[in-house]
């Protein structure tokens, strides 16, 4: 069983580190072991290797590794895509919703500024030199601002945004189907291997898990290639299904991966007692874009204010302010309800 164990450990290790890379930076996992491991692998370990390189080679390897790492992490490249080249061809070329001077006015009228995590008081994009529309973000890899930016996906070598979130969800579901088919087909082959060796499958189905695992391990050992694919599909399938469920949750909640980071930062400020609200909204010019009102089904009669260093004297006069105790007290005007949120993803507004 040593070969089976080695294959299982190798596949598990790949899936484990992939999971840390994908989910370790999520705000909800920052203070969990996954978050700590992500910071260890991304920040602490490279820093230690730089110190070691300085001592052993006087820093000769660090620039080379830095260039390689910068290319892999911060530049478009086809290395990761090779496994999905056919499946993701469409995702590579679909415009995610890049904001240009020509469609900037349309982007400004697409979503209202909620005056919480998006505001017109924010400085213009330092690269594009355009006012940042609500829910947009500049991608340093694609070198452009993207409307309703979610994240940059290395699997499709493109940003996930307004125009292609629906295609990305379809890509995830197709991956789930592909991995599920791999599990079912490989499992059927392994069962056939057991039957050929005279194992009664009906008796095995009612036996305990220990006996079932032992016999399946023997089948994997006999058909190593099939067993390796089976284990890979099982472990990667878990990651894929969890990732799909997470993005479906984001759709249901009316938010994006980029926005969850901003909400998480706001939640930390709430815990520190720095956020106050009033139910009397100010006369906001934020809801106007180039002189035209943003058409959005939901509005908020809520204004928030962040104080500095606990100084409540900074709060504007003339209204009554209440300290926000939890994120549940803050309105998310982008959440229109699960079905409407889904329709906004499947049938996005046209960025003209």
Task: Indicate which residue of 139, 145, 153, 233 is catalytic.
Answer: 153
pLDDT of residue 341: 95
Identify the pLDDT of residue 11: 54
Determine whether 125 is an active site residue.
no
Give burial (CB, 10 Å; 0-12/13-18/19+) of 292. exposed
Please give the chain's pLDDT, 352 residues, in tens.
Answer: 455 456 556 656 766 776 677 667 665 677 788 888 888 887 888 888 888 888 888 888 888 888 887 777 667 767 655 655 655 676 778 899 999 999 999 999 999 998 889 988 889 999 999 999 999 999 999 999 999 999 999 888 899 999 999 888 888 888 888 888 888 889 888 988 888 888 877 777 667 777 778 888 888 888 889 999 999 999 999 999 999 999 999 999 999 999 999 999 999 999 988 999 987 554 444 444 444 568 888 887 788 888 887 778 788 888 889 999 999 999 999 999 999 999 999 999 998 7
Q: Which of 267, 251, 285, 264 is nearest to 115 (CA)?
A: 285
pTM here?
A: 0.75
């Amino acid at each position: 069983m040593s070969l089976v164990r080695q294959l299982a450990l190798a596949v598990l290790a790949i899936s484990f580190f992939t999971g840390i890379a994908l989910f370790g930076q999520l705000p909800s996992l920052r203070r969990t072991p996954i978050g700590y491991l992500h910071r260890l692998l991304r920040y602490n370990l490279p820093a230690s290797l730089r110190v070691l390189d300085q001592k052993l080679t006087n820093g000769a390897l660090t620039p080379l590794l830095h260039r390689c790492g910068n290319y892999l992490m911060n530049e478009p490249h086809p290395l990761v895509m090779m496994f999905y080249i056919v499946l993701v061809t469409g995702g590579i070329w679909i415009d995610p919703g890049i904001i240009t001077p020509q469609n900037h006015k349309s982007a400004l009228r697409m979503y209202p500024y909620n005056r919480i995590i998006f505001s017109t008081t924010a400085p213009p994009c330092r690269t594009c030199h355009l006012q940042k529309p609500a829910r947009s973000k500049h991608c340093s890899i694609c070198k452009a601002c993207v409307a309703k930016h979610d994240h940059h996906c290395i699997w499709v070598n493109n940003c996930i945004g307004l125009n292609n979130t629906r295609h990305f969800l379809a890509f995830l579901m197709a991956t789930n189907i592909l991995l599920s088919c791999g599990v079912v087909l490989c499992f059927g082959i392994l069962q056939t291997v057991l039957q050929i060796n005279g194992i009664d499958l009906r008796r095995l189905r009612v036996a305990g898990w220990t006996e079932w695992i032992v016999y399946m391990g023997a089948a994997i050992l006999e058909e190593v290639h099939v067993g390796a694919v089976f284990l890979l599909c099982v472990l990667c399938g878990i990651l894929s299904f969890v990732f799909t469920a997470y993005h479906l949750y984001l759709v249901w909640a009316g938010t994006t991966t980029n926005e969850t980071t901003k909400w998480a930062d706001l939640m930390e400020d709430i815990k520190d007692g720095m956020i106050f609200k009033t139910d009397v909204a100010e006369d906001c010019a934020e809801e106007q874009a180039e002189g035209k009102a943003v058409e959005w089904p939901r509005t908020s009669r809520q204004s928030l204010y962040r104080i500095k260093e606990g100084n409540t004297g900074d709060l504007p006069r003339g209204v009554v302010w209440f300290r926000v105790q939890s994120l549940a007290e803050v309105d998310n005007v982008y959440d229109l309800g699960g079905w409407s949120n889904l329709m906004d993803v499947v049938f996005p507004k046209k960025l003209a």
